[in-house]
Amino acid sequence: MEGQESSCSPATPERSSNTPEPVRSSTSKHRKSPKRRREEKRSQCHHQDDQEHLLLPDDEQIRLPGQHEHSEPSGSSTAEMAETSPKRRAHFLHGPYPATHFGPKACILPNPTSVMHIQDPASQRLTWNKPPVNVLVIRKIRDESLVEPFKELCHFLVEEKGMLVFVERRVVADVSLTTDETFATIRKQLCTFREGYDDISHCIDLIICLGGDGTLLYASSLFQGSVPPVMAFHLGSLGFLTPFKFESYKTEVAKVFEGNAAITLRSRLKVKVVKDMLQRTAGGQPDTEHNGLLPHGHANSEAGNITLQMQVLNEVVVDRGPSSYLSNVDLYLDGRLITSVQGDGVIVSTPTGSTAYAAAAGASMIHPNVPAIMVTPICPHSLSFRPIVVPAGVELMVRVGRVEESGEGCREGVDLIKITTSCYPVPSICCHDLVYDWFESLAQCLHWNVRKKQARLADDVSDSSDTEN
């Protein structure tokens, strides 16, 4: 047992002939103390069979982007690396890499096809392959207070930066802009488009929003595929998603053009609405199975007519609408029934949408870099139905039944709403960093945990004594 060493154990210098051999008992050669076994286990940095990287609880090591799993300085021991490596994780948003071995004999089955390399969100920076040229400016409509900021920004982009600015046609048609002779030269150089008619998704390099959160949501709806970086200025009422102040727009825009700006990848939901008809059986019940699975052809295919397919940033809401009756919808996860929602409806939201409708319905607020999907019931007729958070990689399906009458009799139809995480997030440019911007929005916009500070006990005692005197 002593002669066998791990292939990656630290090298030890050869013992000199003058160095006395330590005295060992006959039993210690075959039996090791628990402390000795723990020390040897900590000194091993790779497993002998599959060379997996282990994270030790005492000296946790963090693999930086670009660093190989098995790279190790030559001639250095694990103890020396533990002394030089930082003890606290700084500027990292991902958790530590989990150990893949559990106890002396158990481990995770290796699957090379499922290995993914994900960059830590804290290190995500914006860069340009080519200098940006085309800038889309989205302005809040019917707000006279934004006319002057809009003109200043367009003048700065066109005259000083030489950019090609795209705006909506209805924005340029504003009376306050058409009657302004000082803006006539800039207005002629603006490129206009019509929503729903002109496709600009492949020619925009940067999006700048002037207004509130609705401008960023509208920008997301314009791009159903890849979304350009979005820079949002707080000129609206709430501004939870708009971290930049317009007073320093020249400096901030110039920094973005230079690159290396921090960005938050706000995940979106890919939504498909499928309408299909299910014939009633002889007993009058729809043709469904009793083990929680959908009938064959509904879980893994696109049976029926896809009437709507889109990418959403905040949430998908299925509610009772104008009906006064209790809604009853079935919720499936990866094709298996998990529950039935009886109430006013259900909200399926992204982490970005967790601070919107879902927060008003009693859900928790999730940081946008947490890969998750939140399911929140709306006024459920159950005291135990609480909001849940599911992994971002699952497919949720909301099944809504309906009864239609025709000349052939009654037929039961279903609307299947399939919801998955989209592969096209919204890259939102940060003003400071990913964590600070979010908590600042919680404090400034939603007044999260705002409370008057409790007075100290000494002050209370002194005040009471002064009153008695």
Say if residues 344 and 305 touch (Cβ distance below 8 Å): no
Q: Alpha-carbon distance 426 to 263, whole Å?
A: 10
Active site residue 58: no
Length of the chain as a residue count: 469
Q: By the 8 A CB rule, do 344 and 378 touch?
A: yes
Instruction: Please say whether the beta carbons of 426 and 220 come within 8 A.
Output: yes
Three-state secondary structure string covering 324-389: CCCEEEEEEECCEEEEEEEECEEEEECCHHHHCHHHHCCCCCCCCCCCEEEEEEECCCCCCCCCEE
Alpha-carbon gap, residue 60 to 55, rounded angstroms: 6
The phi, psi pair for 266, rounded to 5°, reads: -85, 115
> How far is C-alpha 322 from the chain's CA centre?
33
Which residues, 6 or more positions from 96, have their beta carbon under 8 angstroms from its beta carbon?
Answer: 55, 60, 62, 89
| DSSP secondary structure string for all residues of 203-220 | S-SEEEEEESHHHHHHHH
Q: Which runs of E-coded beta strand occur in 84-197?
A: 101-102, 106-107, 134-139, 164-168, 191-193
Q: Tell me which residue of 417, 193, 428 sits closest to 310, measured CA to CA.
A: 417
Q: Determine which one of 174, 213, 276, 330 is catalytic.
A: 213
226 vs 166: CA distance, rounded Å: 18
Alpha-carbon gap, residue 170 to 157, rounded angstroms = 20
Q: What pairing do the DSSP bridges indicate for beta strands 164-168 and 134-139? A: parallel
- Cβ atoms of 387 and 353 within 8 Å: the answer is no
Could you give the CA distance from residue 412 to residue 425 in angstroms, rounded to a whole number?
Answer: 37
The single residue listed with the structure tokens 């039961």 is: 412
Distance CA 286, CA 283 (A): 9
Active site residues: 213
